[in-house]
């Protein structure tokens, strides 16, 4: 008899509520005075939770397909501007082959990427172009190559001293793309690290060292968060554990997936994600 995953369900519900509150706060709702208006955060919360759920469930399904034991997703609620620190699944058995490593590592970012792009397209079509002076003191989001392209296609180029006021759905899509890029950094046991190790083997360790140093430099000149991310990578470890049967070769399909995820990383990476206007 299967046990009901109470902890996973509880964390999902609490995280949905915290992202719902975050979405309402973004719209200027005072939840202490008007708690009933929390429902106004639904466009943001529903979109972001869908992106995270698709990402983690894709990892889970790929793990099951390759007979790797994995937990259901753990969602992490947080008192932040987006209401969450994300979600993760925990591997409970070794990954057997490089094929499995590619499939498990790439499945989450690819599915999350697809849903995020859809959210950005829908959300940008509902966004507005506003005067920068009217948004003074507001949080300004950096643009990745992809998000900048989508903005130009959907909203055209904003004139000087104007910027885009993102609809909550577009903001959730932006976060989804940002989270995708974070996961695809080819360091340690991040999703990108899984993929890079499957293709490069032990050489992946040297790439991890170089990228941690690059993140440190980006933390000095662009966004302090990169320096914290670099420290976190060092704490978690930049060396990837071996697979059980390394001699099983990668087929062209998996190599293509590896290249495809690297392209996704390049077009979603943002050197300076956040700044105040």
Q: Delimit the domains of the chain by residue range.
A: 6-276
Q: What is the largest CA-CA distance in the chain?
A: 63
DSSP state of 3: P
Give the closest residue to 206 by CA, choosing from 218, 193, 190: 193
DSSP state of 161: T
**pLDDT at residue number 159:** 63
Residue carrying structure tokens 């904003």: 158
CA–CA separation, 202 and 228 (whole Å): 25
**pLDDT at residue number 248:** 87
Tell me the CA distances in angstroms from 255 to 64, 196, 259, one per residue in order: 21, 10, 6
Contacting residues for 89 by C-beta, under 8 A, at least 6 apart = 56, 59, 60, 63, 70, 71, 72, 73, 74
CA–CA separation, 160 and 146 (whole Å): 21
Q: Which residues of the chain have pLDDT under 70?
A: 1, 132-138, 157-161, 276-277
pTM: 0.94
CB contact at 8 A, 240 and 191: no
CA–CA separation, 265 and 48 (whole Å): 19
CA–CA separation, 266 and 186 (whole Å): 11
């Amino acid at each position: 008899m299967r046990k009901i995953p109470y902890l996973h369900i509880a964390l999902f519900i609490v995280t949905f509520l915290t992202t719902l509150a975050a979405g309402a706060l973004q719209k200027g709702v005072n939840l202490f005075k008007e708690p009933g208006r929390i429902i106004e955060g639904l466009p943001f919360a529903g979109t972001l939770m869908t992106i995270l759920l698709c990402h983690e469930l894709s990892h889970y399904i790929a793990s099951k397909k390759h007979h790797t034991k994995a937990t259901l997703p753990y969602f992490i609620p947080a008192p932040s501007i987006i209401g969450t620190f994300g979600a993760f699944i925990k591997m409970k058995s070794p990954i057997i082959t490089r094929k499995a490593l590619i499939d498990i590592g790439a499945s989450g970012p690819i599915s999350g990427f697809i849903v995020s792009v859809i959210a950005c397209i829908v959300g940008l079509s509902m966004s507005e172009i506003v005067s920068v002076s009217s948004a003074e003191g507001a949080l300004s989001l950096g643009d990745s190559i992809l998000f900048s392209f989508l903005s130009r296609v959907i909203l055209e180029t904003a004139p000087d001293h104007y910027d885009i006021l993102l609809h909550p759905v577009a903001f959730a899509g932006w976060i989804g793309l940002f989270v995708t890029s974070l996961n695809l950094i080819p360091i340690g046991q991040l999703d990108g690290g899984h993929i890079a190790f499957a293709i490069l083997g032990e050489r992946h360790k040297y790439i991890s060292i170089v990228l941690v140093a690059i993140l440190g430099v980006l933390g000095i000149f662009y966004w302090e968060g990169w320096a914290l991310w670099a420290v976190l990578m060092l704490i978690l470890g930049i060396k990837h554990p071996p697979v059980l049967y390394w001699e099983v070769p990668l087929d062209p399909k998996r190599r293509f997936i590896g290249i495809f995820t690297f392209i996704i990383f390049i077009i979603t990476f943002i050197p300076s994600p956040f700044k105040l206007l």
